[in-house]
Amino acid sequence: MRSLKLPFLSFLGLIAVGLVLEFGFSAFIQITALFVLVNMIMAMSLNLVNGTSGQFSLGHAGFMAIGAYVGAYLSQHWALFPEGLTALNFFVYTLLGGSLAAVFGFLVGQPSLRLKGDYLAIVTLGFGEIIRVALLNMDFLGGARGIHGIPTVPDGFGLSRFMAQYLFGSFWVILCFFFLWRLVHSNQGRGFLSVREDEIAAESMGVNTTAVKVRAFVVSAFFAGVAGVLSAYFVRYINPSSFGFLRSVDAVIMVVLGGMGSFTGSIVAAILITIMPELLRTVQQVTGVDLRMLIYALALVLVMILRPQGIFGSKELRDFWRKK
């Protein structure tokens, strides 16, 4: 029970934020909050590979696309549970979307993770583009038009649609964070860290470094797929261009900005990266010129100059108030 205390309190904290958003803010702010949840999961999943394991992936948008299309297609064509239990359908769809992304993560990771550094980045970048182009040519998935009218998480128990979506997304954020946290602090996690610090030394100690990297890649791909499913349900429309190269770059920026290897840093960075362009809309309203992306880019450059290791570095939030 003690191990469940922190996840439970974290979930209550997210619920409190959701209630404030429910009764005090516009629909635009609410959808932005849902995107924050998606980006939190995406950033944490990539941090397992790029931060904790010391690899460099540029193709996580491909895993996100797989999850999004699986979740969207199943929600339109397959109902496992009867009316009244439809919320369980979306839980199963999310698991299946993440699982198929994990399968692709294994298929891509098994051969490509024998490579290192720039070579791995090129392979994963190519994978992401292959997925995007393949989706463009799949007519049964809408092709370039994408999929419209995707069903979303049903409301119930007096909850609004936003609150139902928000709670569903918050559940997956909490699950992602604490699963990755426990994984990194387990024997498997020490294998990830050993590969990051010195792969040659890890191999000399008998660590199967390829297997360790593939394991991290598969788990990361699963949660990237989950993020894709959630984005499909929140927006209710997807197309291949939603998961292009720049989507992967956004995730990399969140990981680097938050701190390589810091999951709480990824959460903070996801919040900043998602809301900053929206906050800068006021500048456009005052000046009449759209300077949002310019200011956004300059702010990122300034942060990385002043704090090159990221906001949290490799530390977690609790490390800053832990007694020395």
SS3 238: strand
pLDDT in tens, 282-314: 777 777 777 777 877 888 888 888 888 888 887
Are 147 and 69 contacting, i.e. CB atoms less than 8 angstroms apart? yes
Structure tokens at 221: 């791909």
DSSP sequence for 12-25: HHHHHHHHHHHHHS
Residue type, 137: N
Domain 2-245 of CATH type 1.10.3470:
yes
Are 39 and 270 contacting, i.e. CB atoms less than 8 angstroms apart? yes
The fraction of the chain above a pLDDT of 70, given in percent, is 94
pLDDT in tens, 9-31: 777 888 888 888 888 788 889 99
Angle at 265 between CA 261 and CA 267, to 5 degrees: 115
How far apart, in whole angstroms, are the C-alpha atoms of residue 78 and residue 132?
Answer: 24
Domain boundaries, the chain: 2-245
How far apart, in whole angstroms, are the C-alpha atoms of residue 8 and residue 118?
Answer: 40
How far apart, in whole angstroms, are the C-alpha atoms of residue 168 and residue 153?
Answer: 8
How far apart, in whole angstroms, are the C-alpha atoms of residue 258 and residue 267?
Answer: 7
Handedness of CA 147, 66, 86, 34 (dihedral sign): negative
**What pLDDT tens digit does each residue of the chain (324 aa) get?**
455 567 777 778 888 888 888 887 888 899 999 999 999 999 999 999 999 998 999 999 999 999 999 999 999 988 777 776 777 889 999 999 999 999 999 999 988 887 777 788 899 999 999 999 999 999 999 999 999 999 988 876 667 889 999 999 999 999 999 999 999 989 888 888 888 888 888 888 888 888 999 999 999 999 999 999 999 999 999 999 999 998 999 999 999 999 998 999 999 999 999 998 888 777 777 777 777 778 778 888 888 888 888 888 878 777 666 644
**3-state DSSP percent of the chain in helix, strand and coil, to 5:** 75, 0, 25
Q: Of 212, 150, 142, whose CA–CA distance to 183 is shortest?
A: 212
Structure tokens at 260: 């390589």
